[in-house]
Copies of this chain bind each other. A is one copy, B any other.
Amino acid sequence: MSTSQSKIDYRICFVGDSFVQGTGDPLCLGWVGRVAQDAVVRGINLTHYNLGIRRDTSRDIAARWEQECAARLPADCEALVLFSFGVNDTLIFEGVQRVSEEESLANFQNILRTSSSNYKVLMIGPPPMPDSTHNRRVERLDKQFSELAATLNVPYLSVFEVLRKDEHWLKEAIANDFAHPGQRGYERLAGLVQEWPDWWFR
């Protein structure tokens, strides 16, 4: 960290679904709380807003992100927004996929294009689920998101493959609620964010 970085008034909105909220973490931090703690301990003047909501799809996020971020990011701060969603889009509910692939990509493009014209923006892809059929759809969406992010010049971190092979993520999810990891899974994801060359506070 440079000396000047400790004086900047950084404010981040983390916008997404239950994995952003940190559902299942007994420490009530999730990966978001862990990366915020790490930055603060290193002297960065950071305020973090966790705007993850359980069951949110890209459609839900498209409807709320702009207003919720505007309320939290005044003009005189260094305003950062990190998005992460996708798992709920690909969920089959009562026989129908909650959000079609076509709409997911349109929402993604709309959210990232608008946000990145106002804020510094990063996107983290959807994590794996302990269900191979669901996972094929998550993996496919992750690849499409990644390609679309490149055309929009928004840095995108795919975590699907690393977490699928992680020794804790899927085991914890199975032991928990068949969706969300526990402490070790969230620690691993926090680590992936912190090692990412595009992360703001390396």
Interface residue from B29, B54, B55, B67 paired with A28 (Cβ < 8 Å): B29
- Which residues of the partner chain B approach A60 to less than 8 Å between Cβ atoms? 71
**Assuming the A-B contacts A28-B37, A28-B40, A48-B28, are A55 and B71 also in contact, with contact meaning beta carbons closer than 8 angstroms in the complex?**
no
A68 within 8 A of B: yes
A184 vs B15: C-alpha distance in the bound complex, in angstroms?
A: 29
Chain A interface size band reads: 20 to 34
Give, as a whole number of angstroms, the nearest-CB distance from A30 to chain B. 11
A21 vs B12: C-alpha distance in the bound complex, in angstroms?
A: 13
- Which residues of the partner chain B approach A74 to less than 8 Å between Cβ atoms? 55
Q: Which residue of B lies closest to A27 (CB)?
A: B37
Flag if A26 contacts B50 (CB, 8 Å).
no
A69 vs B118: C-alpha distance in the bound complex, in angstroms?
A: 25
Interface residue from B21, B40, B48 paired with A47 (Cβ < 8 Å): B21
Q: Which of A21, A28, A37, A47 has the most CB of B within 10 A?
A: A28
A36 within 8 A of B: yes
Flag if B71 contacts A53 (CB, 8 Å).
yes
- Which residues of the partner chain B approach A41 to less than 8 Å between Cβ atoms? 26
Q: Which residue of B lies closest to A56 (CB)?
A: B71
A107 within 8 A of B: no
Mask for A20-52, Cβ within 8 A of B = 1, else 0? 010100111100010011001100000111100
> Can you report 16 residue pairs joining A to B where beta carbons are below 8 Å apart?
A11-B54, A21-B49, A26-B37, A26-B40, A26-B41, A27-B37, A28-B33, A28-B37, A28-B40, A47-B54, A49-B50, A49-B53, A54-B72, A55-B74, A64-B67, A68-B68
A interface residues, Cβ below 8 angstroms from B? 11, 21, 23, 26-29, 33, 36-37, 40-41, 47-50, 53-55, 60, 64, 67-68, 71-72, 74
